[in-house]
Amino acid sequence: MPYITVGMENTAPIDLHYEDHGDGRPVVLIHGFPLSGAAWEKQVPALLSAGFRTIAYDRRGFGESSHPATGYDYDTFAGDLNTLMNELDLRDAVLIGHSMGTGEIARYIGKYGSSRVSKAVMISSLPPFLLKTDDNPDGVDMSVFKGFKQQVKADRFAYQKGFINDFFNYDMTKGKQVSEEVFRANWNLAVSASPIGTLKCIGTWTTDFRADLARIDVPLLIIHGDQDRIMPYPKTSPKVQSMVSGSELVKLPGAPHGIPWTHADEVNGAIMNFIAMPAMAGAR
């Protein structure tokens, strides 16, 4: 398994696990909470078949990456992505993020610029700013996030069952888009993550990305289900579109948060239309 070292914790390296397949223009896949790069199972084959080099990595604390006790904030997450981009010398890359992974895209471009990036895709967006404040009055009250943390502290395994329920709108998709086996596999991924990382990542959901969005200067595609119970559609993706000039928003009616799985055909089709076929892949 390939790894890249992104830091140290005491005497131990902090390593990111990644998979790097295919040739052509690079596409970097950044997974959502509380999963890993394995969550892109329905996107990787489609991208490879279309002639793209496809890189999927596990965020620190998740999947096969190291599980440190530190570094669970978006400056560090963006720094980890920057190390990956530099170490693999990725250029003209497309960044595709789901859920928490959309925060990496915003903060990475906001902090490091777009010299290595030609396009970006945000799926089930966390930006621009979820927290309710005086200048964001329709946001989510801080007590909601505190409640999530208390649930994780009390029983992380039960919390993740509830989270995966809402991730897939399982009461609506069970036995249709989502089998019991898929639910169980996602729960297994969720509970295999670092307990510390799981708790601390909830704190990152209140990050303000508005200044980062103002610095996005590459074409941006936004895809979001309008029945998303994790990242409420009206509070997220439509606002991103309004803040990023020229961005494109695809709304999936009736769709939940976990659309890379439940609506893979629609998601993959929108991505392919946006990033173009291999013959055009080198054009910025």
Q: Is the peptide bond before 128 cis (omega within 30 degrees of 0)?
A: yes
Distance CA 25, CA 38 (A): 21
State yes or no: pLDDT of 278 exceeds 80. Answer: no
State yes or no: pLDDT of 62 exceeds 80. Answer: yes
Angle at 267 between CA 229 and CA 182, to 5 degrees: 60
Instruction: Look at residue 223 in the predicted model and tell me its pLDDT.
Output: 98
CATH number at residue 41: 3.40.50.1820
What mean pLDDT is predicted for residues 124-147? Answer: 97
Instruction: Look at residue 276 in the predicted model and tell me its pLDDT.
Output: 80
In a domain, 87, yes or no: yes
Confidence of residue 281 (pLDDT cuts 50, 70, 90): very low
The radius of gyration of the chain from alpha carbons, rounded to an integer in Å, stands at 17
What mean pLDDT is predicted for residues 153-157? Answer: 98
Work out whether strand 248-252 and strand 12-21 pair parallel, antiparallel, or are unpaired: unpaired
In a domain, 284, yes or no: no
State yes or no: pLDDT of 284 exceeds 60. Answer: no
Instruction: Look at residue 38 in the predicted model and tell me its pLDDT.
Output: 98
What mean pLDDT is predicted for residues 32-43? Answer: 98
Range of the domain at 267: 3-278
Distance CA 138, CA 129 (A): 10
In a domain, 48, yes or no: yes
Instruction: Look at residue 135 in the predicted model and tell me its pLDDT.
Output: 97
Confidence of residue 80 (pLDDT cuts 50, 70, 90): very high
In a domain, 33, yes or no: yes
State yes or no: pLDDT of 47 exceeds 50. Answer: yes
- Kindly state the percentage of the chain with pLDDT values over 70: 97
State yes or no: pLDDT of 200 exceeds 60. Answer: yes
State yes or no: pLDDT of 283 exceeds 70. Answer: no
Mean pLDDT, all residues of the chain: 96
Distance CA 38, CA 31 (A): 8
In a domain, 214, yes or no: yes
Model pLDDT for residues 218-231, shown as the tens digit of each residue: 999 999 999 999 99
Contact residues for 13 (Cβ-Cβ < 8 A; gap 6+):
5, 7, 66
Total tally of structural domains belonging to the chain? 1
- Kindly state the percentage of the chain with pLDDT values over 90: 96
Catalytic residues: 99, 228, 257
